[in-house]
Amino acid sequence: TGWDDAAPIDVQIEGKAQQDGGWDAPGYYRPRVVSVDGEIEQATHADAHAVRTQLSSLSPGTLHEFVVSSTGMPAPLSSMMRVSQGVSVEWLGPNRFRYTIELTAPDPLKYGPLEFAQAGLSSTGGGTGLVYPLAYPLNYGVDPGTTPGQVQVANAGTASYFPRLRIDGPVTNPVVTLSETGDRLQFNFTVAAGQWLDIDCARRRVLLNGSVSMRHKVSFVGAWLAVPVGGAPIVWTADTADPASVLSVWSYEGAWS
């Protein structure tokens, strides 16, 4: 229970003094709470106890991936959850027991399968122009049907979600934009060869080599590349273009509320 339901909503609409109605205010989804009930039957009493031990050892200090799949669903959906109420067990026999466990998802969205894509760098600098005399056939450096510096991310769901990015250097002052919404992230520094940036858009966290915060050198416009329903292209540019520089994007098939 709680998985197919909408997440709880927090709406704080204050009533108007000596007037009808109230002052409008936006509502927000609260954490999703899911209760899992089931029965376990094993071949021996020792095997049943082993399963009970596994359930009771789920730590509330760790996020666990909760995956739901059933007949008729096009793909499994998942959410990262914490144990908010430890397992309760009722023995029905030496090899069989009924259990209940409560899980809470800080992020109330349900996500489809993870997707991954990469793109080389498209430079914002001016071109070198044509060199004469021309040598045929001309090579424009881009394969037919491709766009340098662009990754198409999907969202077949009902809610926007945040992707996760990685930029591998060498690259100077990279800029990542979501053209559908106008969201823009600008990194005002140089990522040297052999270095990389981990960008968690949901937490608005930017780490150099996975450890040093560079958030103070980031300027942004919009909602940190929140992928809208229907999907959108993510484009990146920079002051310099090196063949070794790569943008990696982890996204989802979709997100559902």
Q: Which two tokens stand for residue 257?
A: 């509320």
Express as a percent the part of the chain with pLDDT over 90.
77
Q: Which pLDDT does position 75 carry in this prediction? A: 87
Tens digits of per-residue pLDDT, 40-50?
999 999 999 99
Quote the pTM value: 0.80
Tens digits of per-residue pLDDT, 200-217?
999 999 999 989 999 999
Tens digits of per-residue pLDDT, 131-185?
667 666 554 444 443 445 889 999 999 999 999 999 998 999 999 999 889 999 9
User: What are φ and ψ of residue 247, in 5° steps?
Assistant: -105, 125
* Alpha helix segments (H runs only) across the chain: 45-56
Quote the Cα angle for 79-100-32, to 5°.
30
Quote the CA–CA distance of 66 and 60 in Å, as a whole number: 14
Q: How far is CA 67 from CA 3, 56, 81, 203, 244, in A?
A: 11, 19, 10, 22, 36
Q: Which two tokens stand for residue 76?
A: 């499994």
How large is the average pLDDT for residues 47-75? 92
Q: Let me know: does 221 contact 83? Beta carbons within 8 Å.
A: no
